[in-house]
Amino acid sequence: MYIDNVKIKIKSGNGGAGCVNFHREKYVPKGGPDGGDGGKGGDIIFETDKNMRTLLDFRYTVKYYAEDGEKGDTNNMIGASADNYIIKVPSGTVIKNAETGAIIADMITPGVQVVVLKGGKGGKGNAQFATPTRQSPNFAQPGQHTKEYEVLLELKTIADVGLVGYPNVGKSTLLSVVSAARPKIANYQFTTLSPNLGVVSIYDKTFVMADIPGLIENAHEGVGLGHDFLRHIERTRMLVHVLDAAGIEGRDPVEDYNQIRTELESYSEELSNKPEIIAANKMDLPDAEAGIEMLKEYLPEKKVFPISGVTKEGVKELLSAVSDMLETLPEPIIYEGTGEILDELVEDAYDIYKDEDVFVVEGSLAERILASVNVNDYDSMTYFHRMLKKHGILDDLRKHGAKDGDTIRFVDTEFDFTE
Ligand SMILES: Nc1nc2c(ncn2[C@@H]2O[C@H](COP(=O)(O)OP(=O)(O)OP(=O)(O)O)[C@@H](O)[C@H]2O)c(=O)[nH]1
Ligand SMILES: [Mg+2]
Identify the pLDDT of residue 302: 87
Identify the pLDDT of residue 80: 97
Q: Where does 163-327 sit in CATH, by number?
A: 3.40.50.300
| Ligand 1 site, residue 168, Cβ cutoff 6 A | yes
User: In terms of residues, how long is the chain?
Assistant: 419
Question: Strand, coil or helix: what is 75?
Answer: coil
| Ligand 1 site, residue 51, Cβ cutoff 6 A | no
What is the residue with the minimal CA distance to atom 32 of ligand 1?
282
Mean pLDDT of 384-410: 91
The Cα–Cα gap between 354 and 352 comes to 7
With cut-offs at 50, 70 and 90, classify the pLDDT of residue 227.
low
Task: Report which of residues 376 and 328 the model is more confident about.
Answer: 328
Task: Report which of residues 230 and 343 the model is more confident about.
Answer: 230
Lowest mean pLDDT among 39-43, 113-117, 361-365: 361-365
Ligand 1: nearest atom to the Cα of 168:
21
| Ligand 1 site, residue 195, Cβ cutoff 6 A | no
Dihedral class, residue 72 (left if φ above 0, else alpha if ψ from -120 to 50, else beta): beta
| Ligand 1 site, residue 192, Cβ cutoff 6 A | yes
335 contacts 94 by C-beta, under 8 angstroms:
yes
Identify the pLDDT of residue 135: 81
| Ligand 1 site, residue 187, Cβ cutoff 6 A | yes
The Cα–Cα gap between 107 and 98 comes to 17
Residues 6 or more apart in contact with residue 269 via CB below 8 angstroms: none
Mean pLDDT of 291-306: 91
With cut-offs at 50, 70 and 90, classify the pLDDT of residue 248.
confident
Q: Does domain 347-416 have CATH number 3.30.300.350?
A: yes
pLDDT at 363 exceeding the cut of 80: no
C-alpha to C-alpha distances, 384 to 76, 282, 350, 392, nearest whole angstrom: 23, 81, 15, 12
> In angstroms, what is the span from residue 278 Cα to ligand 1's centroid?
16
pLDDT at 310 exceeding the cut of 80: yes
| Ligand 1 site, residue 179, Cβ cutoff 6 A | no
pLDDT at 219 exceeding the cut of 60: no
Ligand lying closest to the C-alpha of residue 173: 1
Q: Distance between terminal CA atoms of the chain?
A: 67
Lowest mean pLDDT among 31-40, 123-132, 368-377: 368-377
Identify the pLDDT of residue 261: 92
Percent of the chain predicted with pLDDT > 70? 95
Lowest mean pLDDT among 5-9, 160-164, 214-218, 352-356: 214-218
HEC profile of 208-232: EEEECCCCECCHHHCCECCCHHHHH
pLDDT at 1 exceeding the cut of 90: no
Lowest mean pLDDT among 66-70, 136-140, 342-346, 390-394: 342-346
| Ligand 1 site, residue 14, Cβ cutoff 6 A | no
Topology of the domain covering 1-158+334-345: Spo0b-associated Gtp-binding Protein; Chain: A, (2.70.210)
Q: What is the pLDDT of residues 48-102, one digit of tens each?
A: 998 888 898 898 899 999 999 999 999 999 999 999 999 999 999 999 999 989 9
> In angstroms, what is the span from residue 170 Cα to ligand 1's centroid?
3
> In angstroms, what is the span from residue 281 Cα to ligand 2's centroid?
13
> In angstroms, what is the span from residue 172 Cα to ligand 1's centroid?
7
| Ligand 1 site, residue 141, Cβ cutoff 6 A | no
Alpha-carbon torsion (387, 393, 395, 401), positive or negative: negative
Q: What is the pLDDT of residues 108-117, one digit of tens each?
A: 999 999 999 9
For a ligand 1 pocket test, name from 166, 176, 185 the mutation site with the most ligand atoms within 8 angstroms of its C-beta.
Answer: 185
| Ligand 1 site, residue 214, Cβ cutoff 6 A | yes
Task: Report which of residues 344 and 240 the model is more confident about.
Answer: 240
For a ligand 1 pocket test, name from 163, 166, 173 the mutation site with the most ligand atoms within 8 angstroms of its C-beta.
Answer: 173
Task: Report which of residues 192 and 324 the model is more confident about.
Answer: 324
Ligand 1: nearest atom to the Cα of 214:
25
Among 93, 85, 101, 87, residue whose Cα is nearest residue 40: 85
Domain spans, the chain: 1-158+334-345, 163-327, 347-416
* Whole-prediction pTM: 0.72
Beta-ladder partners of 103: 96
> In angstroms, what is the span from residue 265 Cα to ligand 1's centroid?
25
Identify the pLDDT of residue 255: 92
Lowest mean pLDDT among 76-85, 128-137, 313-322: 128-137
Q: What is the pLDDT of residues 340-358, one digit of tens each?
A: 887 644 556 677 888 888 8
